[in-house]
Amino acid sequence: MDNSAASFDPTHVTQISWSPRGFLYTGFLSDEECDHLISLAKDRLQKSMVADENGKSVESQERTSSGMFLQIAQDEIVSGVEAKIAAWTFLPQENGEGMQILHYEHGQKYVPHYDYFNDEVNLQLGGHRVATVLMYLSNVEKGGETVFLSTQVKDRQPKGDDRSYCAKQGFAGKNVRVCV
């Protein structure tokens, strides 16, 4: 498989919102890449944390998933995915942070939030994120949406679909192997 930046295919990208800016890239990851990332994380998942006002990781009922962080360029496949992210976002690969792999059981959540730091520790470690790339590594039949509440394209999804109540409040990226 070609993991170079040349493997980026703009014909697979759909703009889902201009304000805030959001795009959907269908087929961003191969099944091999998804399975590899899952295998790296499977035995290392721990309770997900949030950063407090001092930058310390703390437990919160606002985020109930489990997760873990990969090392930057941990292996050839991870490095290839990072190169694709850099090509797609038009941001230098060295500006990226280690990928975080999350796992949600039925009923787990991360309440609506901004990818924003309000503590000095994280600001000194690189500052605010310019872009967030979400990659779904598995498929689920019901639920599993990521909802973008501020998007202005709420009517683009079909009525009568199987999105959750929460997902119907904004544009929802369905949990299918895609990249939002």
Compute the distance between CA of residue 127 and CA of residue 150 in angstroms, rounded to an integer: 23
Q: Can you give the residue ranges of every domain in the chain?
A: 26-138, 143-173
Q: Transcribe 65-84 into DSSP letters.
A: -EEEEPPTT-SHHHHHHHHH
Residue 29, pLDDT score: 93
Per-10-residue mean pLDDT for the chain, 180 residues long?
58 85 89 97 92 81 90 96 93 91 86 70 71 88 74 54 49 46
pLDDT given at position 169: 52
Tell me, rounded to whole angstroms, the distance of Cα 159 from its chain centroid.
25
Q: Which long-range contacts (CB under 8 A, 24 or more apart) does 37-42 make?
A: 37/70, 37/77, 37/78, 37/81, 37/99, 37/101, 37/135, 37/137, 38/101, 38/137, 38/138, 40/70, 40/74, 40/75, 40/78, 40/101, 41/67, 41/68, 41/70, 41/101, 41/103
